[in-house]
């Protein structure tokens, strides 16, 4: 079973690499195939950050245009999906900044950062969490989405939001406490 999975993964990598190389050469059919492979996942990423279907669709299209223009800079150091996701996340964050929804970075003592609520360990229903995230202020929702849902670490979040690692951590912990409070009130 492991050999079969490795074989399938290798074939996917080869297929994606071929599509990327053909896209670099200007093959519009290959570009459409890449678009089709990633459009749903990238839309979901943009939508989670923007909370607006229309804005997510706009950012999605802009991100693909940018990706295809910059395809020559893709060096296969990561997966194409990870590279494209970074473009979508950056465009989404820049869009939010342009709408004056600026991330508020606040310094918090190391004690507050390491403080954990006992409520975190309680099992929570997925729908409650989704509703709670939707109720968070924009900056908190961004940090929770980037960390918990998109899987970025605080160093990467700092780079994306143009802040240092410490404010990323403190905002995450504040957002988590706020989210727990919202969920507990439901």
* Measured distance CA(182)–CA(135) in Å, rounded: 8
The residues near 21 (Cβ < 8 Å, ≥ 6 apart) are none
For residue 88, count other CB atoms closer than 10 A to its CB. Answer: 26
Each residue of 40-57: pLDDT tens digit?
A: 999 999 998 888 899 999
Cα distances from 171 to residues 144, 158, 163, 177, 186, in angstroms, run 9, 11, 11, 10, 23
Q: Say what the pLDDT of residue 174 is.
A: 93
* Measured distance CA(171)–CA(174) in Å, rounded: 5
The residues near 8 (Cβ < 8 Å, ≥ 6 apart) are none
Mean pLDDT of the chain: 80
The architecture of the domain spanning 2-98 is Orthogonal Bundle (1.10)
- Three-state DSSP at 75 gives coil
* Cβ atoms of 81 and 110 closer than 8 Å: no
**pLDDT tops 70 at residue 92:** yes
Confidence band for 63, pLDDT divided at 50, 70 and 90: very high
CATH tag, 110-185 = 1.10.10.10
What percent of the chain lies above the pLDDT cut of 90? 35
* Cβ atoms of 158 and 168 closer than 8 Å: yes
In angstroms, how far is CA 113 from the centroid of its own chain?
23
Q: Please spell the DSSP secondary structure of 123-135, one letter per residue.
A: ---HHHHHHHHHH
Q: Say what the pLDDT of residue 124 is.
A: 46
Domain residue ranges in the chain:
2-98, 110-185
For residue 8, count other CB atoms closer than 10 A to its CB. Answer: 10
Query: pTM above 0.75?
Result: no
């Amino acid at each position: 079973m492991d050999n079969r999975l490795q074989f399938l993964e290798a074939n996917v990598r080869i297929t994606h690499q071929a599509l990327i190389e053909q896209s670099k050469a200007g093959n519009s059919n290959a570009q459409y195939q890449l678009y089709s492979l990633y459009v749903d996942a990238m839309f979901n990423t943009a939508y989670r950050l923007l909370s607006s279907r229309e804005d997510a669709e706009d950012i999605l299209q802009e991100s693909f245009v940018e990706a295809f223009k910059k395809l020559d800079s893709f060096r296969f150091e990561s997966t194409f999906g990870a590279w494209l996701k970074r473009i979508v996340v950056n465009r989404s964050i820049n869009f939010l900044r342009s709408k004056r929804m600026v991330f508020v970075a606040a310094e918090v003592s190391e004690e507050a950062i390491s403080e954990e609520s006992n409520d975190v360990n309680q099992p929570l229903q997925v729908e409650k969490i989704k509703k709670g995230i939707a109720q968070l202020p924009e900056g908190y929702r961004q940090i929770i989405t980037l960390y918990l849902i998109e899987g970025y670490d605080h160093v990467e979040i700092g780079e994306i939001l143009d802040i240092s690692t410490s404010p990323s951590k403190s905002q995450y912990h504040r957002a988590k406490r706020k989210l727990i409070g919202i969920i507990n009130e439901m």
